[in-house]
Homo-oligomer: A and B are copies of this chain.
């Protein structure tokens, strides 16, 4: 069907614009969508401020409707241009796209907007779809891999921090008691994490000398062990950078990822992560479009 480049169906052309970011029109679409998403988030935030909502209610309402209509059009186009609509609709992003579109329609039926904010806030998750753009920054590649290989170690570390928080939390509950605000063990553990992470709200604070002494130990512990995750990421990152230097010839563009994944999305199976220059989808074998 799509063998000859110049004669593409309008569906394929739309697919390219909506699902891919390699072509100028595809990039433009993504940027417009990103702005629309950020604007919709801003609207949710502003609407929650009572004084602003009271003054600009009509403006916010109209803007919300404009964005809802835009999202509806986008959702419909996504269903039309994809070859397997059911697969898209039931996919993670398909559900998110739907849920971030319908709250305004639901508000026509149900009066209380408060409960629908949770749904509207889901729009933020759509940002991650656009963030494939971030790949082009070519910046966070070593970083991502350093974080990935640090994950197991940091999990072990955080588990140890949690155990320490539970132990110290129980001790503080027994030492300080209810009159100081340490009303139960979960609250005491909460306070302990507030202290260990050096956040220190001060909504609860020890008042007895012994409690303050134990708090001192917790704080110094928290201050000392922050070195651990930092040291891990720092060392992993240094290692990644060193490995990169050693591994054979220096890559032509040192800022680019070594395996350059492009932003193409198969029109058939919605599979992404195609290697640069791929002609066919590596999952379903369907032909990919590219104009580069």
Q: Which residue of B lies closest to A212 (CB)?
A: B190
Q: How many copies does the complex hold?
A: 4
Q: Decide if A201 touches B205 in the complex (CB within 8 Å).
A: yes
Instruction: Name the B residues within 8 Å of A174 (CB-CB).
Output: 117-118, 121
Q: Which residues of A149-208 are within 8 A (CB) of B?
A: 150, 152-158, 161-163, 166-167, 170-171, 173-174, 183-187, 189-190, 193-203, 205
**CB of A145 within 8 Å of the partner chain:** no
A231 touches which one: B146, B161, B193, B220 (CB < 8 A)?
B146
In angstroms, Cα B190 to Cα A143, docked, is: 27
In angstroms, Cα B189 to Cα A215, docked, is: 12
Q: Which residues of A213-267 are within 8 A (CB) of B?
A: 213, 215-216, 219-220, 222-224, 226-239, 241
Instruction: Name the B residues within 8 Å of A233 (CB-CB).
Output: 227-228, 230-231
Q: Decide if A143 touches B166 in the complex (CB within 8 Å).
A: no
Instruction: Name the B residues within 8 Å of A158 (CB-CB).
Output: 220, 224
In angstroms, Cα B174 to Cα A200, docked, is: 23
**CB of A45 within 8 Å of the partner chain:** yes
**CB of A127 within 8 Å of the partner chain:** yes
**CB of A139 within 8 Å of the partner chain:** yes
Interface majority SS on A: helix, strand, loop or mixed? helix
* Given A45-B186, A134-B156, A184-B48, A219:B200 Cβ within 8 A: no
In angstroms, Cα B166 to Cα A236, docked, is: 29
In angstroms, Cα B200 to Cα A220, docked, is: 13
Instruction: Name the B residues within 8 Å of A48 (CB-CB).
Output: 173, 184-186
Q: Decide if A163 touches B127 in the complex (CB within 8 Å).
A: yes
CB A148 to nearest CB in B, in angstroms, measures: 12
The 10 A-B residue pairs whose C-beta atoms are closest, nearest first, are A231-B233, A199-B200, A202-B202, A201-B202, A203-B205, A197-B223, A139-B152, A231-B234, A227-B229, A235-B237
28 contacts between A and B (CB under 8 A): A45-B184, A46-B186, A49-B183, A49-B184, A49-B186, A117-B170, A117-B173, A121-B170, A124-B166, A124-B167, A125-B167, A134-B156, A137-B152, A143-B232, A150-B227, A187-B209, A195-B199, A197-B223, A199-B200, A200-B201, A201-B202, A224-B229, A227-B229, A227-B232, A227-B234, A231-B234, A234-B234, A234-B238
